[in-house]
């Protein structure tokens, strides 16, 4: 097992720089919630890079720090220590306003619960982030995303008129229409049946391989993780293992050895 120790020097380099091909990177990331006796160390010295065009699954037991890592990488939460880069930009020291802009312009999100606005059509949901940002949609980009996700004939429907899989495809279209540097997905297939989940995971994999999209996906599901190029394993806030080209079996074995 490829256990990554961080005992040699737990401090991040004084002036860390991400590799040129990294869409996102974290150096010596720590996050502590609360203080004193009740402090919870949710992340402990996590250093990791996400190469452009790669699909990474983040796994680990409940409470191991997966969501915290994703939220810190995506600028939704601020780390207690360490640095986060989106592309070559260090987002750790940005003001709230600049951080909001980076999130809006360079990051896409997909959640388990789709988070679509029920009163808007699929098309209006997809365009909402751009409208809120005062940006014009590039028609070819919209057409590309809609066709790739095969939702062209669903654009005039409201979420309640769509299946779960269709709603999640609309949510992915909404996240991708802005051409984000990184798409963060939090249990994106958690509410879908296995066949619909497979279609979606294939789409995510293809968008990485053929269109250079970078995807970071938190999941509990070893089968979902097997679609990724790499699986990261967190335990107790630490990055403890990293599997290249994971299969459901190698992921399960690694999870079991964590529990042992």
Query: What is the pairing mode between strands 214-218 and 182-186?
Result: parallel
Question: Closest by alpha carbon to 207, among 234, 185, 231, 233?
Answer: 185
190 binds ligand ADP (CB under 6 A): no
Q: Which is nearer to ligand ADP, 7 or 62 (CB)?
A: 62
Closest approach, Cβ 198 to ligand ADP, in A, equals: 24
# of chain residues touching ligand ADP (CB under 6 A):
12
Q: Which is nearer to ligand ADP, 71 or 154 (CB)?
A: 71
Contact with ligand ADP (CB under 6 A): which of 24, 29, 42, 243? 42
64 binds ligand ADP (CB under 6 A): yes
Contact with ligand ADP (CB under 6 A): which of 6, 32, 67, 158? 67
Helix (H, G, I), strand (E, B) or coil at 82: strand
Those residues whose C-beta lies under 8 Å from the C-beta of residue 138, and which sit 6 or more positions away, are none
162 binds ligand ADP (CB under 6 A): no
Contact with ligand ADP (CB under 6 A): which of 18, 51, 65, 222? 65
Contact with ligand ADP (CB under 6 A): which of 20, 35, 62, 95? 62
Contact with ligand ADP (CB under 6 A): which of 28, 60, 75, 82? 60
Q: CA-to-CA distance for 214 and 137, rounded, in angstroms?
A: 21
> Alpha carbon of 64 to those of 43, 120, 138, 167, 180: distances in Å?
8, 36, 40, 29, 27
68 binds ligand ADP (CB under 6 A): yes
| Conformation bin of residue 236: beta by default, left when phi > 0, alpha when psi is -120 to 50 | left
Those residues whose C-beta lies under 8 Å from the C-beta of residue 27, and which sit 6 or more positions away, are 12, 13, 16, 47, 82, 83, 84, 85
Closest approach, Cβ 122 to ligand ADP, in A, equals: 29
Contact with ligand ADP (CB under 6 A): which of 23, 57, 66, 114? 66
- Name residues contacting ligand ADP, limited to 2-41 (CB under 6 A): 33-34, 40
Cβ-contact 26, 198 below 8 angstroms: no
Cβ-contact 182, 24 below 8 angstroms: yes
Q: Which is nearer to ligand ADP, 35 or 160 (CB)?
A: 35
Task: Quote the DSSP letter at residue 15.
Answer: S
Q: CA-to-CA distance for 196 and 223, rounded, in angstroms?
A: 13
Q: Which is nearer to ligand ADP, 66 or 154 (CB)?
A: 66
Closest approach, Cβ 66 to ligand ADP, in A, equals: 4
Q: Interface residues with ligand ADP (CB under 6 A)?
A: 33-34, 40, 42, 60, 62-68
């Amino acid at each position: 097992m490829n256990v990554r120790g961080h005992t040699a020097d737990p401090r991040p380099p004084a002036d860390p720089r991400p590799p040129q091909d990294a869409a996102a990177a974290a150096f010596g990331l720590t996050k502590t919630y609360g203080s004193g006796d009740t402090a919870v160390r949710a992340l402990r010295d996590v250093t990791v890079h996400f190469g452009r065009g790669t699909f990474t699954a983040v796994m680990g037991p409940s409470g191991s720090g997966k969501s915290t890592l994703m939220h810190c990488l995506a600028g939704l939460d601020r780390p207690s220590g360490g640095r986060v880069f989106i592309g070559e930009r260090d987002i750790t020291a940005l003001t709230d306003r600049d951080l909001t802009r980076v999130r809006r312009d360079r990051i896409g999100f997909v959640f388990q619960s789709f988070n679509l606005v029920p009163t808007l059509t699929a098309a209006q949901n997809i365009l909402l982030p751009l409208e809120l940002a005062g940006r014009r949609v590039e028609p070819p980009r919209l057409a590309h995303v809609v066709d790739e996700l095969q939702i062209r004939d669903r654009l005039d429907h409201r979420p309640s008129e769509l299946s779960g899989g269709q709603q999640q495809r609309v949510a992915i279209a909404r996240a991708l229409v802005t051409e984000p540097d990184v798409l963060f997905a939090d249990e994106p297939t958690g509410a879908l049946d296995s066949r619909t989940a497979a279609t979606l995971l294939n789409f995510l994999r293809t968008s990485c391989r053929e269109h250079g999209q970078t995807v970071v996906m938190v999941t509990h599901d070893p089968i979902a993780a097997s679609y990724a190029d790499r699986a990261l394993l967190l335990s107790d806030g630490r990055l403890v293992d990293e599997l290249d080209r994971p299969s459901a079996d190698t992921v399960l074995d690694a999870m079991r050895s964590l529990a042992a």
